[in-house]
């Protein structure tokens, strides 16, 4: 997520699971992604990269700051101002199920659930 994302765009995808290594290997074999470890302070999560070199997703352990994130592919959509979007989510019958959380030097995010039960992450980039 290094380039300035456009508001409303899907800017990232994560999958948070108990055993990130086996799921990392699954997707490497099924879709051809390679992985780079991302130090999480005592363990690694993984940034997944296409054969052409584009970083497209993360596969994360369901621990630490990710312990409360559900085990499903989670899209991150960029918003102008996270707190305002979270207030609107609540007003319209949605729930905040994780966060808001800060990723040092990158921005803040929260995971919401819409009134139908679907989840989505909202991302506010720094700067």
Tell me the pLDDT tens digit for each residue of 19-31. 999 999 999 999 9
Q: How far apart are CA 24 and CA 78, in angstroms?
A: 25
pLDDT computed for residue 127 by the predictor: 67
Question: At residue 104, does pLDDT exceed 90?
Answer: no
Of the candidate ranges 7-11, 47-51, 104-108, the one whose mean pLDDT is the lowest: 104-108
pLDDT computed for residue 66 by the predictor: 83
Residue pair 37/81 in contact (Cβ under 8 Å)? The answer is no
Domains of the chain: 10-125 (3.10.180.10)
CA distances from 76 to 22, 26, 27, 112 (A): 23, 22, 19, 10
Q: How far apart are CA 121 and CA 76, in angstroms?
A: 5
Residue pair 6/78 in contact (Cβ under 8 Å)? The answer is yes
Residue matched to tokens 């729930």:
95
Q: What's the mean pLDDT when you consider all of the chain?
A: 91
pTM of the predicted model as reported, rounded to 2 decimal places:
0.83
Sheet holding 95-103, edge to edge: 34-39, 44-49, 55-61, 10-17, 74-78, 119-125, 107-113, 95-103
């Amino acid at each position: 997520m290094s380039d300035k994302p456009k508001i409303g765009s899907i800017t990232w995808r994560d999958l948070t699971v108990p055993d990130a290594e086996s799921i990392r290997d699954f997707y490497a074999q099924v879709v051809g992604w390679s992985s780079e470890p991302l130090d999480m302070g005592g363990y690694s999560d993984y940034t997944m990269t296409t054969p052409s070199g584009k970083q497209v997703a993360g596969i994360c352990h369901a621990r630490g700051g990710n312990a409360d994130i559900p085990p499903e592919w989670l899209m991150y959509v960029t918003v102008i101002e996270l707190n305002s979007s979270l207030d609107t989510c609540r007003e319209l019958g949605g729930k905040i199920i994780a966060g808001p959380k800060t990723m040092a030097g990158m921005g803040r995010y929260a995971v919401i659930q819409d009134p139908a039960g679907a989840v989505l992450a909202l991302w506010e980039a720094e700067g």
